[in-house]
């Protein structure tokens, strides 16, 4: 006698085994090229705004500015000489020399670019993760956007706007950085503003 297959005890009525459901979800296609499978992720860097402007605020000075600066420097040098502060005399002369150079030589134009990945200043690139917030100021009658960084160096980026509208730059930065409407001036800034207002080196044109 030949062995027969055992009949399951839980066989339903009618003696027919249940079929596999046809509405079970199918496993996702492994090949990305197959229709319905996951599409490959593509990253694209888009330029939001770019412009060209001088590398720093600049205003041409007249003869009165240099003459008044030289007279003040001479007075300070005499006072330091009477107190035998020879090292400070050299420091004052160095600062005056740098100030004269910055106010005589016009800055070269810089290329600024705001993209979806960060900010480019000439050949220096900063990711959005490296930047903190931004605010606007007017220096020498020119709009400047200041962008603070998380790291101590450089600490802050200064981008002169030139002929670029402030609102355009603001709308380009807002999706990535918080805007600080009011910045409390430091003691040095308050002192410089007070001296400029009460003891101007040249008359306003």
Cβ(160)–Cβ(141) below 8 Å:
no
In order, the DSSP letters of 151-192 are SSSS-EEEEE-TTS-HHHHHHHHTTTS-B-S--PPPHHHHHH
The more confidently predicted of residues 137 and 8 is: 137
Could you tell me the residue ranges of all domains in the chain? 48-194
Cβ(100)–Cβ(85) below 8 Å:
no
Give the pLDDT confidence of 100-140 residue by residue, as tens digits.
998 899 899 999 999 999 999 999 999 999 999 999 998 88
For the whole model, what pTM was predicted? 0.68
Structure tokens at 157: 């980026």
Query: What's the CA dihedral at 56, 58, 63, 68 to 10 degrees?
Result: -60
Give the pLDDT confidence of 18-61 residue by residue, as tens digits.
555 555 455 544 444 444 444 444 478 899 999 999 999 888 88
Q: What is the DSSP letter of 110?
A: E
Percent of the chain residues topping a pLDDT of 70: 79
Cβ(139)–Cβ(88) below 8 Å:
no
CA distance 125 to 120: 4
What distances in angstroms separate CA 79 from CA 74, 86, 191, 201, one per listed residue?
A: 9, 11, 21, 20
């Amino acid at each position: 006698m030949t062995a027969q297959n055992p009949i399951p005890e839980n066989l339903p009525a009618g003696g027919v085994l249940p079929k596999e459901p046809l509405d079970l979800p199918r496993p996702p296609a492994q090949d990305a090229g197959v229709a319905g499978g996951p599409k490959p992720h593509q990253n694209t860097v888009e330029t939001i705004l770019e412009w060209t402007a001088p590398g720093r605020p600049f205003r041409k000075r007249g003869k009165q500015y240099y003459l008044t600066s030289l007279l003040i420097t001479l007075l300070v040098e005499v006072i330091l000489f009477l107190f035998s502060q020879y090292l400070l005399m050299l420091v004052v002369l160095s600062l005056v020399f740098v100030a004269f150079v910055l106010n005589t030589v016009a800055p070269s134009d810089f290329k600024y670019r705001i993209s979806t990945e960060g900010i480019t200043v000439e050949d220096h690139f900063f990711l959005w993760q490296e930047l903190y917030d931004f605010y606007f100021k007017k220096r020498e009658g020119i709009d400047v956007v200041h962008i603070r960084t998380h790291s101590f160096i450089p600490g802050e980026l200064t981008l002169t706007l030139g002929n670029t509208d402030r609102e355009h730059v603001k709308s380009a930065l807002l999706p990535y950085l918080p805007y600080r409407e009011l910045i409390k001036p430091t003691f040095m800034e308050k002192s410089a503003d007070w001296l400029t207002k009460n003891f101007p080196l040249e008359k306003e044109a």
